[in-house]
Amino acid sequence: MNNNKIPVAILGATGMVGQKYIQLLENHPMFEVVCVCASAKSSGQKYIDVVGPKWQMRTAIPDSVAHLKINDVFNIREVSSKCRLVFSCFEIDDKDLIQKVEFDYAKTGMAVVSNASANRSNDLVPMLIPEINLHHLDLIHHQQKINNLPKSGMVIVKPNCSIQSFTTPIFALEKEGFKVSQLIVSTLQALSGAGYPGVASLDVIDNIVPFIGGEEKKTEEEPVKILSKATDTKLVLRTDLKISATCTRVPVVDGHTALVSMKFEDKIPTEQEIKDIWNNFRSDVKEFELPSSPAKAIKYIEIENRPQPRKDRDRDKGMTCTVGRLRKCNVLDYKFVGLSHNTVRGAAGGGILNAEVLVAKGLVK
């Protein structure tokens, strides 16, 4: 093991998001995967033996991980003894149990960076898109106090993958004084967002499924939390932004698209102002010069038939949100199309960026 790197575990390492973590963390300058965890049925076996047949990444399983023995997610003491940070992306039906497991890890001194939805509605758990709400990390000390966590223990979460393709563009406009009051969003979500094996091929080839369980509620509520202010003891949830969402599953492998109409509260920017704000957007997190931070968090693309998942999802290591087709809306003020890579920016890449932020801010040492 490289002693300069922070040893990390992945809870749910055999799944779609876990595999993406393993791919993105190969040769990462700050983190080293020392422990891979999954369900009891996988536990005790070599990673390559369990995952080899269902590995979905376009690069090979890294040698440093292939021969690790899988641990059970619930072996909290043993896993914690090997690392300082855990990426949580395991999936079970009992969300209360996921909440408890993540906080149990935090109680052993782990920083938990979670992709699961279980802790997202907890007001003291920052739901971080660092380009937007870095200041929500001020809540961590209070979270530690209320939950009796040691100084190194904490839980932070990433939002749902459906919202990355429009929330940062909305934030950029609000940052420049153009408050948004209404959003009507239709998402076209990729198959990898449903995990492995996910949606049956006969249900989705030559088809669109106009329902994804639980997704519309998350798409309507999570941007509101992220775009709210926080003090160091509480989240002050805003009430002036309403979102209506329709979420669909489409036969695309990676890359969630959002079709968005937006209404401004009072001041309405011109089309050119919106494009300039998006293309010139620079967030405070850039100052940290983090390995997973994209050169541009938002890219406006002028080509009339873009963004498209296959052509635009990988922009800047899959971490940039690509927007296009800005035009007037006959019902609200403007409409546009947004796209982001769901397993990179929307899952593992976003989780890694959040962990890098924790290190940069001295919350993880």
343 binds ligand NAP per the rule CB under 6 A: yes
Binding of residue 165 to ligand NAP (CB under 6 A): no
Q: Which residue is nearest to ligand NAP (CB)?
A: 15
Only one residue has tokens 């963004």, namely 307
Helix 271-280 to helix 167-175 angle, to the nearest 10 degrees? 110
> At closest approach, how far in Å is the CB of 348 from ligand NAP?
8
Based on the shown chain and the rule CB under 6 A, indicate whether residue 73 belongs to the binding site for ligand NAP: yes
Q: What length does the chain have?
A: 365
Integer Cα distance of 341 and 314 in angstroms: 7
CB closer to ligand NAP, 178 vs 294: 294
Residues 199-258 that bind ligand NAP (CB under 6 A): none
Residues 6+ apart with CB under 8 A from 276: none
What is the C-alpha separation between 346 and 256, in angstroms, rounded? Answer: 9
If you ran DSSP here, which 8-state letter would residue 209 be given?
B
Q: Which of 6, 8, 9, 14 binds ligand NAP (CB under 6 A)?
A: 14
Instruction: Say whether residue 69 binds ligand NAP (CB under 6 A).
Output: no
Of 298 and 344, which CB lies nearer to ligand NAP in the complex structure? 344
Applying CB under 6 A, among 6, 89, 180, 353 the residue interacting with ligand NAP is 89
Measure the CA–CA gap between 136 and 142, rounded to whole angstroms.
11
**Identified binder of ligand NAP from the candidate list 6, 9, 24, 38, rule CB under 6 A:** 38
C-beta closer to ligand NAP: residue 194 or 329: 194
Identify residues 168-197 at the interface with ligand NAP (CB under 6 A).
192-193, 195-196
Active-site annotation holds for 256: yes
Burial label, 302 (beta-carbon count in 10 A; 0-12, 13-18, 19+): exposed
Going by their DSSP bridges, the two strands 154-157 and 111-114 should be labelled as parallel
Sign of the Cα pseudo-torsion (43, 47, 51, 55, in order): positive
Main-chain dihedrals φ then ψ at residue 334, nearest 5 degrees: -140, 160
Distance of alpha carbon 170 from alpha carbon 199, whole angstroms: 31
Mark 258-287 with x for binding to ligand NAP (rule: CB under 6 A) and - for no binding: ------------------------------
Residue 12, interface with ligand NAP (CB under 6 A)? Answer: yes
In the complex, what is the shortest distance from the CB of residue 176 to ligand NAP, in angstroms, rounded to a whole number?
29
Task: Tell me: cis bond preceding 309? Omega within 30 of 0 counts.
Answer: no
Q: Is 161 in the site for ligand NAP (CB under 6 A)?
A: yes
Residues 301-340, one symbol each (x = binds ligand NAP by CB under 6 A, - = not), give ----------------------------------------
Catalytic residue among 35, 37, 89, 161: 161
Site size for ligand NAP (CB under 6 A): 28
Q: Which stretch binds ligand NAP (CB under 6 A): 113-121, 146-154, 180-188, 301-309?
A: 113-121
Helices and strands per DSSP (H, E), number in the chain? 14, 14
Q: Is the peptide bond before 197 cis (omega within 30 degrees of 0)?
A: yes
Cα radius of gyration (the chain):
20
**Residue 17 makes contact with ligand NAP by CB under 6 A:** yes
Point out the residues that are catalytic.
161, 256
Q: Which residues bind ligand NAP (CB under 6 A)?
A: 12-18, 38-39, 41-42, 73, 89-92, 115-117, 161, 192-193, 195-196, 342-343, 346-347
